[in-house]
Amino acid sequence: MAVTIQQIADLAGVSRGTVDRALNNRGRIRPEVAERIKGIAKELGYQPNMAAKALSTANHALQIGVIIQYAETPFMKAVLEGTEFAKEEVERFGGHVFVECIHGGDVKKLLKTMKDFREAGVKGIALVPTDDELLKKTINEFVEKDRISIITINSDLEDTKRLCFIGQDSYASGRVAGGLMGEIIPGDGKVMILSGSQENVATMERTRGFLDELEHHYSRIKVLEPRYAYDDDWVAGKLLKEQLEETPDLAGIYITAQGESGVCDTLKKYRLEKKIKVIAHDYEGENRENLKKGIINFILRQNSYVQGYESVMELFHTLCGNPTRQGEFWHTDIVIKTRCNL
Amino acid sequence: MAVTIQQIADLAGVSRGTVDRALNNRGRIRPEVAERIKGIAKELGYQPNMAAKALSTANHALQIGVIIQYAETPFMKAVLEGTEFAKEEVERFGGHVFVECIHGGDVKKLLKTMKDFREAGVKGIALVPTDDELLKKTINEFVEKDRISIITINSDLEDTKRLCFIGQDSYASGRVAGGLMGEIIPGDGKVMILSGSQENVATMERTRGFLDELEHHYSRIKVLEPRYAYDDDWVAGKLLKEQLEETPDLAGIYITAQGESGVCDTLKKYRLEKKIKVIAHDYEGENRENLKKGIINFILRQNSYVQGYESVMELFHTLCGNPTRQGEFWHTDIVIKTRCNL
DNA sequence: CTGAAAGCGCTAACAC
DNA sequence: GTGTTAGCGCTTTCAG
């Protein structure tokens, strides 16, 4: 049998209520008593019973909020599937999960939703952030003043008091892309990098990883100057066309951002889809089709579903007294998809 | 607020106890009353509260057993890590998880442990099975007579009453291996398949998937007759040597089973480690080193950790009244590992 | 066959 | 500051 607060109370010669106050830093207790109780709990290896905790607090304290920006994108839709699944699980424990979708990036709406959640008594929030000073401040305020736990999904805000970040290691995934490219194109082939914009941290990191890997292990491959398509299919197609005119013997394309369909269409038009190797990110939407058809050779998946699922479950565990399970950074697997493991 | 048995009881004009008997088929209740109660529960969309269920039954009904055969192998060690993590989570809910390791394959000991678990009051068992008639019978008996839920890990016993199977789709992973090999060796290269034994279903399925993929999409690649190393490094090395004498221009090796180190050592001896591409399974033990060094080009990972973790968590959910989350087959992701995502 | 009531471990409101 | 107590929703005796 696991140790209970009653046992601690008996040993300390106090009541359950006092132990509860001590162990949960609720105040209204003499510091030296609190210390003594904590000592006994530690000695006994006390672990709170999550079922009991959930049962007794579910109706007020087990409320979790999720805020997804860019909810219209295929990628975030997969995140949402994960949160929905987690929602079901949490609600089976008597908790509540509120999911708010935001179209595109809209920090104002994000902040508004955070405040609404706080009013509603939410004790943990998982959100897809954007790099914004006011948002950072608000996060810190929520954590410190309101004791609301916050998790960043997909992109991080490192210099905040958030509980943790769940997402992919962009640099590492870029390196994986580089390693794959190195293997599948000729040793002295030419490679184009088609990126999003220089403001986007994630895609810049991917690019950096890609370059590092090729430089260190496939140094004879020639990597062309990155071009930026600003996540647009049409621009991506156009940039590729221009590149092909300059570099008719192009061997591979690494797409770090959106715009994959534009690339694939252009390749098809020029009948180059079997000749030029393509590596892209995000196993969602049209990418799946293009992978199946063999136009894209590899897709590096972010495991977005897992991000959605784990962010909610991590908050759930935290609220039930189970400390963080993975540390500050929770990097999801870099899953490589080929035509064969669709 | 979620619906509770009390609400159902009120509506049906009976007591909580009666509702409990009806909803959990405990008998000692008039059939027509039971039906009526079930009807009301359904209408109301009743979902039992897992926290309450866990709290009230933890000490007798939330006992889970895990039996791992071949526990000495690196692969199963990873499975064990997953079960240990799950164990902690379950025990935080007041449950109990007993883990029994078996050295090598030992059905007698497996059966003995199952019976011990049953005596101890265990209500769910996750086990790594071997294909054995008595084991199958015992599983069915446990499920039907003792109402103990059973999950098979890693390899399946399809024609039994087990709750589900958690493991990898061997055929699919073979196909992925084929697709990768097709990309990284020359279009008309020669490939060797180094397998375990013809009795091992999983490795035969991998081989079948590998062959299918190459035949359909890389038909000019020449696949040599499979050789069987019986999971032995020395034999594997020897078979490779023989193959190299017959086929000095070998371009790739697909290893479906154990014996990878033997292959890598031989390749190093002949200074062929950069020339011949190697694809293997199981990201554990020495394979990691050999992948890092570039001797192995790709490892297809089984996600053994996940298998261990999810098997226990699935039993936990089942015992807490949450129905199966994934269906009869729960195929874990086929994770491709390269030097870059170690 | 059915109802009543105790209890699982923890929290929170209320006394003192 | 500290103790007491009434729940949270479900299971499980024990009466009837």
Give tens-digit pLDDT for A296-339: 999 999 899 999 999 999 999 999 998 778 899 999 988 889 98
Residue B9 CA to D13 C1' — how many Å?
19
Cα A338 to the chain's mean position, in Å?
A: 22
CB within 8 Å: A184 and B179: no
User: Which of A274, A298, A336 best tests the B interface by mutation, with the highest count of B CBs <10 A?
Assistant: A336
Longest Cα–Cα distance in chain B: 84
Whether B230 contacts chain A with CB within 8 A: no
Task: Report yes or no: B332 and B153 within 8 Å, Cβ to Cβ.
Answer: no
Calpha distance A71→B28 (Å, rounded): 51
Q: Which residues of B touch A91 (CB under 8 A)?
A: 2, 47
Q: Which residues of B touch A217 (CB under 8 A)?
A: 294, 339
DSSP state of A91: H
Neighbouring residues of B119: CB distance < 8 A, sequence distance ≥ 6: none
* 3-class SS of residue B99: strand
Calpha distance B218→B188 (Å, rounded): 8
CB within 8 Å: A184 and B183: yes
Calpha distance A307→B325 (Å, rounded): 18
Neighbouring residues of A265: CB distance < 8 A, sequence distance ≥ 6: A233, A237
Chain A stretch 152-171, residues whose beta carbon is closer than 8 A to a beta carbon of chain B: none
Residue of A nearest to B187 (CA): A184
User: Which of B338, B339, B342 best tests the A interface by mutation, with the highest count of A CBs <10 A?
Assistant: B338
For chain A, state the CA radius of gyration.
25
**Taking all atoms of strand D, which protein residues have CB closer than 7 Å?**
A 13-18, 21, 28-30, 33-34, 52, 55-56, 58-59, 94; B 1-2, 4-6, 16-17, 20-21, 23-24, 26, 46, 48-49, 52-53, 55-57, 60-61, 321
The distance of B143 to chain A (nearest Cα, Å) reads 25
For residue A273, which of A260, A282, A264 has the smallest C-alpha distance? Answer: A264
For residue B254, which of B214, B314, B294 has the smallest C-alpha distance? Answer: B214
For residue A310, which of A129, A152, A200, A95 has the smallest C-alpha distance? Answer: A152
Task: Report yes or no: A280 and A299 within 8 Å, Cβ to Cβ.
Answer: yes
| Beta-bridge partners for A223 | A191
Residue of A nearest to B175 (CA): A340
Whether A29 contacts chain B with CB within 8 A: no
Residue of A nearest to B216 (CA): A340
Give pLDDT, residue B291: 96
User: Which of B278, B336, B337 best tests the A interface by mutation, with the highest count of A CBs <10 A?
Assistant: B336
Which of A59, A176, A184 is facing B341, going by the closest CB pair? Answer: A176
Q: Which bases of strand C sit closer than 7 A to a protein CB?
A: 1-13
Calpha distance A258→A256 (Å, rounded): 7
**Encoding tokens for residue B85?**
């993590």
**Encoding tokens for residue B303?**
């996600």
For chain A, residues with pLDDT lower than 70 are: none
Proportion of chain B in helix, strand, coil states, percent, rounded to 5: 50, 15, 35
Q: Which residue is nearest to nucleotide C8 (CA to C1')?
A: B56
For chain B, state the CA radius of gyration.
25
**Encoding tokens for residue B252?**
């790739």
Q: Which residues of A touch B54 (CB under 8 A)?
A: 51
pLDDT (tens place) for every residue of chain B, 342 residues total:
799 999 999 999 999 999 999 999 999 999 999 999 999 999 999 999 999 999 999 888 899 999 999 999 989 999 999 999 999 999 999 999 999 999 999 999 999 999 999 999 999 999 999 999 999 999 999 999 999 999 999 999 999 999 999 999 999 999 999 999 999 999 999 999 999 999 888 999 999 999 999 999 999 999 999 999 999 999 999 999 999 999 999 999 999 999 999 999 999 999 999 999 999 999 988 999 999 999 999 999 989 999 999 999 999 999 999 877 789 999 998 888 998 888
For residue A129, which of A96, A97, A172, A164 has the smallest C-alpha distance? Answer: A164
Q: Which residues of B touch A93 (CB under 8 A)?
A: 49-51
Residue A81 CA to C10 C1' — how many Å?
32
| Beta-bridge partners for B208 | none
